[in-house]
Structure 1
Amino acid sequence: MRIGQLKYTLLAVGVSACLSLTGCADMQVGGGKNPVGGSAGGATSTGAAKTLEHCDHPLGTLAVEENTGDPWYAVLTGQYHLPSTIPLIRLMVQQSNCFVVVDRGQAMNSMMGERNLAASGELRTTSSMGKGQMVAADYVVTPSIQFSQNTGGGAAALAGVGGGYGAIIGAIAGSMKTSEASTTMMLTDTRSGVQVAASQGSAKNIDFGAGGLLGGFGTGGGALGAYSQTPQGKVIAAAFLDSYNQMVKSVREYAPQHVSGGLGAGGALAVDGANNAATQAYSLADAQRKLAQLGLYNSKVDGLPGPGTSRAISTFQKVSGLPVTGQLDAATTGALQAR
């Protein structure tokens, strides 16, 4: 029994030394041991990370969707045994009060099931499950992860601690590695399909490799399915916290991008022949007619160039933020067609 107790004591000393020298199991990322945690209800939240960005009012509604076919998702769920990132991100978003979260996952399927029950007449008439009550998602955020792991040797000196039991302690130290996760978030406008924001975040820390001996010491080392209990999970959560913070900082100062002629009207990088064809299809008479509708042209619609037509085109170009040439060029044609 004394030998068994001695082994246990030396092993515990080795783990304690590892913690004190390297901080390998203490995830001091994202402002605390659990980068993302707590709860949210409406605009209120508890336990949010101190470093999480916060908004005075929401900027719109948001759905979170991840591509389960991407390679990173296989690593996340297969190698690290971690669940979907969606609940983690949705918690951060609601705690920040920067967006109102709408569900487009499993709960959505259940919601549609309730509506099917209502349509079948099985629900009570007071259930109020009629159409027109669901809220649209203004934006969709798409997360992704890039993993990197480098084995480290900073704690290898611990292999000599503990005399005859140095091999046990050395095995623990040898399993240590540097875990790093880089995450990205893409924010897309659901109505236009335009990407309105993109952000990248990262986190890095020292942790124990899979198969470490921490499970016996109540650290939760065997619970690989929780972002708050595993080093890998905490690093990923902290990286997403960083990504989200970067995205919020950018959208707070958001200014829409402008393209001459309007979005999707051909762009400024003209392909030979393409813009000419568009210009020819839209005649000068068409332009005069549209300018007249806009109150910029008061002469006869005859399709002939003249000072009045040139002045009207110049005025339109000026108010549209286009180069003022007085000519019916491709950008002006696209802008007129977009009106």
Structure 2
Amino acid sequence: MTMQVFKTIMAASVGMAMAMSPVLAAEKGSSGRQAQAKKQMEIPHCTRRIGTVAIVEPDNQWWREMSLGSPEAIIKLFVQQSGCFGIVNRGRSMASRNIERAMADSGELQSGSNLGKGQVKAADYFLQPDIVTANQNSGGNAIGGLLGGFMGGTLGALAGGISIKKKEANVTLSIVNARTTEEEAMTEGYFRKSDLSFGGGGGLGWMGGLAAVGGGGYQNTEIGQVIVLAYLDAYTKLVTQLGGLPDNAAAAAPKAK
């Protein structure tokens, strides 16, 4: 190999390396963005309990159109794993408790069962997961609409809905003071499938916990996973906004008469 040929090969190699460096940098940056996105998809953890919540299903039951279960299970998982709230069950568990109470009142339970008045823990807040509407949009195969409302104290338009075709979800999460009925916060959450680049369930171990709380198939479908992560976005924003709420919601509320 002549010196001239050697110099030509070296020059070409250096040129290729320089041309590839932006690509490598972009890939590195992409990895950084993925790591940041994955961090945002982790359930937040609170250092203190904000209060006790009862989860309220929206009336429109939009999830039935996609053969999914109630989003109550999604929020229940977030509440349990975040430690931000205690949770009281006002569904079938309350109905079963009322049956036990009726048997206690009629003298059917064993002596010393200690089931009576003044034992049910109060909900400090009502937490409602929702999308804006449940009207089918035939053009985009979407469920959604537009709602004007207060968001973080500022009047704005809350765009919500679920696009099955695009695999994206835009949801809302609101929290209402059980004593005053004041809406303490409403947040919007958004997620799309193109942001989910970590395999099934986004590589997030907690996603499998949905089955344990009756997740209704959310963890088993692409659109279900997208909806879960949209609610996680809304839930993270919500607990961040609620950092200034009182430690004792009962003491802070007007006295009952």
1:108 to 94, 105, 108: 94
User: What is the total number of aligned residue pairs between the two structures?
Assistant: 167
Distance 1:203 1:225 in 2: 19
5+ unaligned residues in a row in structure 1: which ranges? 1-27, 33-48, 152-175, 207-223, 256-339
> By how many angstroms is 1:52 displaced?
1.4
2:64 to 70, 73, 77: 77
Distance 1:30 1:122 in 2: 56
Distance verdict in 2 for CA 1:204–1:115, change over 3 Å: same
Distance 1:242 1:50 in 2: 8
CA deviations on 1:296-321 (whole Å, 9 max, x unpaired) are xxxxxxxxxxxxxxxxxxxxxxxxxx
Q: Tell me, yes or no, if structure 1 residue 196 matches structure 2 residue 189.
A: no
Q: Tell me, yes or no, if structure 1 residue 67 matches structure 2 residue 58.
A: yes
Aligned residue type for 1:142: Q
CA RMSD of aligned residues (A): 3.0
Distance 1:65 1:225 in 2: 16
> By how many angstroms is 1:130 displaced?
1.7
Distance 1:117 1:51 in 2: 44
> By how many angstroms is 1:178 displaced?
1.6
> By how many angstroms is 1:177 displaced?
3.7
Aligned residue type for 1:193: T
CA deviations on 1:172-191 (whole Å, 9 max, x unpaired) are xxxx9421111111111011
Percent identity between matched residues is: 34
Q: Tell me, yes or no, if structure 1 residue 246 matches structure 2 residue 237.
A: yes
Residue 92 of structure 1 is matched in structure 2 by 78
Distance 1:248 1:100 in 2: 13
Distance 1:183 1:202 in 2: 6
Deviates more, 1:49-58 or 1:121-130: 49-58
SS of the residue corresponding to residue 219 of structure 2 reads: coil
* Residues 30 and 242 in structure 1, CA contact (< 8 A), matched pair in contact too: no
Distance verdict in 2 for CA 1:51–1:201, change over 3 Å: same
SS of the residue corresponding to residue 53 of structure 1 reads: coil
* Residues 41 and 229 in structure 2, CA contact (< 8 A), matched pair in contact too: no
Residue 133 of structure 1 is matched in structure 2 by 119
5+ unaligned residues in a row in structure 2: which ranges? 1-34, 142-163, 195-214, 247-257
* Residues 30 and 51 in structure 1, CA contact (< 8 A), matched pair in contact too: no
Distance 2:222 2:96 in 1: 34
Which one has the bigger strand percentage? 2
> By how many angstroms is 1:50 displaced?
6.0
Q: TM-score, normalised by structure 1?
A: 0.45
* Residues 63 and 104 in structure 1, CA contact (< 8 A), matched pair in contact too: yes
CA deviations on 1:222-254 (whole Å, 9 max, x unpaired) are xx9501101111111111111100001101145
Distance verdict in 2 for CA 1:186–1:225, change over 3 Å: closer
SS of the residue corresponding to residue 126 of structure 1 reads: coil
* The structure with more radius of gyration: 1
Residue 108 of structure 2 is matched in structure 1 by 122
Residue correspondence of structure 1 range 41-56 to structure 2 within 5 A = 51-56=42-47
Highest RCO, 1 vs 2 (Cα 8 Å, sep ≥ 6) = 2
